[in-house]
Amino acid sequence: MARIRIGSKIREHRKNLGITQAALAERCGISASYLNLIESDRRNIGGALLKRVADALELPIERFDGAAERRLLHELAEIAADPLLASPALAATSAADLVAQHAPWAHAIVKLHRACSERNEVVAALSDRYARDPFLGETVQEMSAHIASIRLAVDQLGRLAGPAPALREDVIADIADDSRRLAAVTQTLAGYLAKTPSAPRPLTPIEELEDFVVSHDNHFPQFERVAESLQSEIGLRSGHLESALVDHLEEVHRVQVRSSPLPGGAGASPRRRVSHFDRQTRVFELLELAPEASRRFELARLAAELGAGEAIAAEIAASPVLTSAASRQRAARALSSYTASALLLPYAEFLAAAQATRYDIDLLARRFNASFEQVCHRLVSLRRPGAAGVRFGYMRSDPAGHVTKRFPLPGLPLPRYGTGCPLWAVYRAFQTPGALLRQLVEMPGGERFLLLARAVEKERSAFGMPQHFMSIMLVCDARHAAALVYGEGIDLSAQARATPVGQTCRVCVRSDCAYRQADPVVGAPTTALAGSSMS
């Protein structure tokens, strides 16, 4: 991945403030010539010096850490990996130049690619449906036959010469009959298409939600405060969480909480469903056999949704990232879930426990009576300035390799438009469900990370439903692994052996990988693709 151009950002902010290069250099304790090299991106900058520069410009250091630029570069790299753009080859350095000098154009390219991906998904779904749906194919053929018959009759009518009333009436009757049949078939087809989905949901709302969360570094101080206020109001106490939440919903919001074998009623879809809230009747149904942690979280989420609805709406309305009704709806649910997590896992108490247990996920899950996934989510959000935990990345995948949730780390981009490296622990975890895998990996650029992954089974709402597994992966920089209990017994030195991995095959530069599934954009691999055979 190309290096982030921090110097140009420093120069831009300095000029906007009307500060000369010499004045800024004096404030930072360096020479003007050295600052010139930094601003022209001929010298790297970081650590204490970057902090002094940020302080001198009276800006938070996060404005210069390159997180937003790295994210944009990662997306451009994935776009460059698209087979459609395989020729001519796109250089990584040109992407860095584009981001540094023309960021709006870079964002425009990403937006266009997202739209293109969405259209391709829709076209593929429609094409597949037409090819595989027997009713649709037969109906279209029947419509074509009626249209051909009508055209033939019209041609015959036009060739009739002289008065032939009886024959003309017969032809007109045939046209009328075929027209009625065509109208009936068309109406049947329209009703069929209206009842069944013709295409998957667009990608854009999910993309916008992710951009929204990442732009806040997955930390929302205002909803941490809302959670603290709710906790005080509800009077939550360990061991009585569910009953306290039920009482709060009934007394404050006039919501009646019931246990149900299948939330939503007997006619509800047999899909996995833990809860259902009917806003008209004010009845909240919970799956009676759901795990206790899931039941409490659903109760807390509804309490947050009803108690902090105005604050959630205001945050969403103020975001320029959320441009569609679908993305705003997803964001509302995400913020209510965030508040529920902060309510059940209070920031200061949870951070202290995480540090005391050295981020032992299972111990934290037992202490707070939470699920593995809930604890992992909360660990990623511990980004309070002055009281932050270890910075984690997060990824969730289904057995087919679809990434259903992601939160990348600097130096470890997570895939957006496809599956990740097949060597990652998040995929290996499906081989041993329930077991926690740890893996020390090294990216092509030399960055090292500790991966923690576990495949967990999601609750089934009805008999006969198949097992539903999801793999959850936490990631941290290997430099912080010693602070984790999972770093014990692993050689974390720079000379230690680590699994060589990449982001995805299409953007990975490792030419000797035996697990490669696709040719790289940067050139052909020296080894055969995994899974290939010779006849």
Closest CA to 341 of 382, 311, 289, 391: 382
CA distances, 149 to each of 156, 173, 473, 478 (Å): 11, 12, 61, 72
pLDDT digits (tens, 9 = 90+) for 24-78: 999 999 999 999 998 888 887 777 788 888 888 887 666 676 666 777 777 777 7
Q: Which of 81-85, 344-348, 371-375 has the lowest mean pLDDT?
A: 81-85
Q: Which of 154-168, 344-358, 422-436 has the lowest mean pLDDT?
A: 154-168
The predicted pLDDT at position 71 comes to 72
Q: In this structure, what token pair is assigned to residue 268?
A: 């509800």
524 pLDDT exceeds 50?
Answer: no
- Count of C-beta atoms within a 10 Å radius of residue 284: 24
What is the distance between the alpha carbons of residues 350 and 101, in angstroms, rounded to a whole number? Answer: 42
Q: How far apart are the first and last CA of the chain?
A: 38
pLDDT digits (tens, 9 = 90+) for 249-294: 999 999 999 988 776 655 554 444 688 899 999 999 988 888 889 9
- Give the rounded distance of the alpha carbon of 341 from its chain centre: 18
Average pLDDT over residues 219-243: 85
Residue 99: partners with Cβ closer than 8 Å, 6 or more residues away: 4, 5, 69, 72, 73, 76, 106
What is the distance between the alpha carbons of residues 70 and 76, in angstroms, rounded to a whole number? Answer: 10
530 pLDDT exceeds 50?
Answer: no
Alpha-helix residue ranges (DSSP H) falling in 17-133: 21-28, 32-39, 47-56, 67-80, 92-101, 103-132
Helix (H, G, I), strand (E, B) or coil at 417: coil
196 pLDDT exceeds 80?
Answer: no
The predicted pLDDT at position 272 comes to 47
Closest CA to 357 of 345, 338, 365, 341: 365
Exposure class string for 478-511: b at 16+ Cβ within 10 A, else e: bebbeebebbeebeeeeeeebebbbbbbbbbebe
- Domain 204-344: assigned CATH number: 1.10.10.2910
419 pLDDT exceeds 90?
Answer: no
Compute the mean pLDDT over every residue in the chain, rounded to the nearest whole number.
81
CA distances, 389 to each of 199, 219, 383 (Å): 42, 12, 6
Closest CA to 297 of 268, 261, 350, 333: 333
Instruction: Kindly list the domain boundaries of the chain, sorted by start residue.
Output: 133-195, 204-344, 384-500
Alpha-helix residue ranges (DSSP H) falling in 285-360: 292-307, 309-317, 325-344, 347-356
What is the distance between the alpha carbons of residues 267 and 462, in angstroms, rounded to a whole number? Answer: 13
Residue 230: partners with Cβ closer than 8 Å, 6 or more residues away: 303, 304, 307, 308, 339, 343
- Domain 384-500: assigned CATH number: 3.30.450
Residue 379's pLDDT band, with cuts at 50, 70 and 90, is very high
Cβ–Cβ < 8 Å for 335, 316:
yes
What is the distance between the alpha carbons of residues 392 and 369, in angstroms, rounded to a whole number? Answer: 21
